Every structure is written in structure tokens, then in C-alpha cells.
Amino acid sequence: MKSIYIRPTNIIFGQKANFFIQEGTAKSLCGLEDVGFLSVEILKRQADGNTVEEYSVLELEKLDLRNEIESDIDKITSKRNNIYNLNFKNPILMGVLNVTPDSFSDGGKYNTTFRALDHVKGMIDFGAHIIDVGGESTRPGARSVSEQDEIARTSETIQFIKKKYPNQLISLDTRKSKVMQHGISIGVNILNDVSALDFDQQSYQVVKDSGKPIILNHSQGIPEDMQNNPTYENVLLDIFDYFENKIKFLKSNGIRDEQIIIDPGIGFGKTLEHNLEIISKISLFHSLGYPIMVGPSRKSFIGKIMGEKDNPQRLGGSIASVLYSYLQGIQLFRVHDIQEASEALKVYSEFLKKQ
């Protein structure tokens, strides 16, 4: 467990960022020329309570603990590894395709190949870089399905997408090693495991042998029980520690840096306050040194904020969450509404360039 954590703050974009990075009053975020940060928060775990202090980039060299934070600063500022043709210079959108009867938002809407492909075409036309195909609902309270059922739900759709759109990147949303193996055999490019390889002990071997990128999603518990009073000492720091330990284990067992993407797991074993804390300070995870994905789309925390005004689409809350994450340098988003998210990010990024 770490005692000191670093979160980049006052993140700036465009020509302003480039100018201040060149001047040395800002540091590059993720090795980008046009995204930088002017200051950092230093969070300390202490027996008598955690503390938070903020310093400008210029003050870092004068700090007594500069040697302790140097490694984290290097990770924050280092260029992220490209994944296929994705270089993380611009927002990357992952479109959700649930071919299930019971997913929390769109269960039953796309569980025939014809309807699924029609939806895929729309997502690709509106700018989806990745299509994330899932055959098992992992909504709160959902029960696990068999490997055979999950393969049966996803296989035909994946093969049809690959045939019609041979260059389209496909991720497979699954917790099971045999489903992963089958997906890889029919052309899946990326694996997306909501359990971060904890559910099936053979999964990490599949990732190692295949060399495929893996999205490690933090979850407390399993879907059946993950919302039964989830608790943390400090949700941000506990998740950070989890990822740091997980990554150390995976790397010591043959999984490479360039395979790893992290996702703090909005809604997976978190209360409303936990989710708000994660999104509001998600830039903390830059100091792990890996691409970060966030998936707030249509999640229940939005409904809890809206109360009786809630609606199933939760479009406004989803877009707000995406934009707030983007403002903190997150550039990979898993969303249901590709057209709206793409438009929002494109327009918002133009405003940021004019800061």
C-alpha cells in the first residue's frame, strides 16, 4: 500500500497547454503536446487521517519528498502505448452492444443478429472506434450465465461484424476464459473483463498467450452481490492500490505494459458517493501510467441524482460524466449513445482549445 499519491490538477488543453509546457510552467499529460497540467495534489495516507496538499508544477522541485513522487510524475507525463491504430491523442469511443435479454439499459433490444448489426452500423457511422460485444449482463443482481450460452449469444454477431467491417476493432465483454478463447478465435481484438481477471483464474493465461489488450475493470464483489453495502476506507486510494497490485502481478506473470488498460468501474460495487468521488477525481489514475477507460453511460448513479426525474436513457447525465472525465485527461469512453457522445466531445474539445 502506498502512502503518497499524486493527482494532476488544473489540466489545460490546446495552444495554451503547448505554450505552458514549452515554458516549463506545465507538464505534459500522457506525453501529449497539447494537454498539460499546472499543478498536482499530493494525497497522503496517515494513521490519523488522510491529507491533501496542492502544489504548482514549479514547486515540485523544491519539495522535500520530490524523490518519493518522481516515479509517479514520470508515469503521469509518459506517452501511453498505442493499441492497434489507437494513439490516445484524441477521444476514443467504445460503443456498447449487449446481445443479452437482460442488460440493465438495452436488454433484449439487440439480441438478434439482424438488430445487432443494424445498431453496429449506426455506431460505426457516428464514430465508434471499438464495438464492445457482451453476452452476459453484469448489472447489479444479475446471475451468471453458462459459457456455452454466452458464446452462443455473441459468436454469430462477432463473425458478421468482422465479415462486414473487417477493419473494425471489436472488444469482448466477458469474465470467462473459454469465452475469451472463442472470441479470439473468431477475430476479437480486445478483452474487457469486469472482474479484472479475478472471476476466472484461467483468464490471465488467455491474455498472456494471446497478447491481446485487456481492460481491467475494478469491481467490489460480483454482480449478484456487488451493491450490497459496498464499503471502502478511501474509494480512490483503495482502487488505486488494487490496480497497482494487480498490474504488478500481471507483469510478473508475462503480461506486457502495452496490453493494459484500466477502468475504475463506475457502478461496480460503488454507492452514489463513491461514483461521484471517482469521476470528480479520476485524474489520480494517470499516475499508474496506463490508458484509462471510463464507462458512466446510463448508470444508476445518474438516476439517483435525478430522483423522480430519472429516465432510462440518462443521456444528459451520461454526457456530463463523459465531458467531466475528458476535462481530466481521460480519453477512452464506453458509451451507449455514440452519436451524442461524439458530437459532445468534438464541440467541447473545440472550446477547450480556445482556453
User: Which residue range forms the structural domain that includes residue 10?
Assistant: 4-64
| 123 & 235 share domain | yes
Segment 47-59 mean pLDDT: 91
Residues serving a catalytic function are 299, 334
Among 106-110, 152-156, 176-180, 215-219, name the one with the lowest average pLDDT.
Answer: 106-110
What pLDDT is attached to residue 33? 96
Residue 104's pLDDT is what?
46
Residues 253-277: tens digit of each pLDDT: 999 999 999 999 999 999 999 999 9
Asked if the structure places residue 335 within a domain, the reply is yes
Q: Which of 83-87, 141-145, 149-153, 350-354 has the lowest mean pLDDT?
A: 141-145
Check residue 85 and give its pLDDT. Answer: 87
Query: pLDDT class for 226, splitting at 50, 70, 90?
Result: low
Segment 181-207, tens digit of pLDDT: 999 999 999 999 999 999 999 999 999
With contact defined as beta carbons under 8 Å apart, do 200 and 194 qualify?
A: no
- Average the pLDDT over 220-248 and give the result: 88
The structure's pTM equals 0.93
Q: Does residue 73 lie within any of the structural domains? A: no
In this predicted structure, which of 60-64, 231-235, 241-245 has the lowest mean pLDDT? 60-64
**Residue 225: band (very low, low, confident or very high) from pLDDT cuts 50, 70, 90:** low
How many domains is the chain built from? 2
> Is 339 found in the same domain as 220?
yes
Alpha-carbon gap, residue 260 to 81, rounded angstroms:
9
* Rounded mean pLDDT, 35-58: 93
Residues 186, 314 within the same domain: yes
Kindly state whether residue 81 falls inside one of the protein's structural domains: no
Query: What pLDDT is attached to residue 179?
Result: 98
Task: Give the containing element (helix H, strand E) for 309.
Answer: none
Please tell me what DSSP assigns to residue 175: S
48/166 same-domain check: no
Q: Is residue 327 part of a domain?
A: yes
pLDDT score for 13: 96
74 domain-assigned: no
298-345 confidence digits (pLDDT tens): 999 999 999 999 998 999 999 999 999 999 999 999 999 999 999 999
- Do 105 and 24 reside in the same domain of the chain? no
Q: Which residues make Cβ contacts (< 8 Å) with residue 42, sequence separation at least 6? A: 4, 5, 6, 52, 53, 54, 55, 65, 69
Whether residues 27 and 168 fall in one domain: no
Q: Is residue 317 part of a domain?
A: yes
Per the domain annotation, does 342 fall within a domain? yes
Tell me, yes or no, whether 87 lies in a domain: no
In this predicted structure, which of 17-31, 51-65, 330-344 has the lowest mean pLDDT? Answer: 51-65
Domain identity same for 183 and 244: yes
CATH of the domain at 211: 3.20.20.20
Report which secondary-structure segment, H or E, holds 37. strand 35-44
Listed in order, strand segments (DSSP E) in 143-229 are 169-173, 190-193, 214-217
Say if residue 58 is in the same domain as residue 128: no
Residue 167 CA to residue 136 CA, distance in Å, equals 25
pLDDT in tens, 91-132: 999 999 988 774 445 444 555 577 888 899 999 999 999 999
Do 253 and 304 reside in the same domain of the chain?
yes
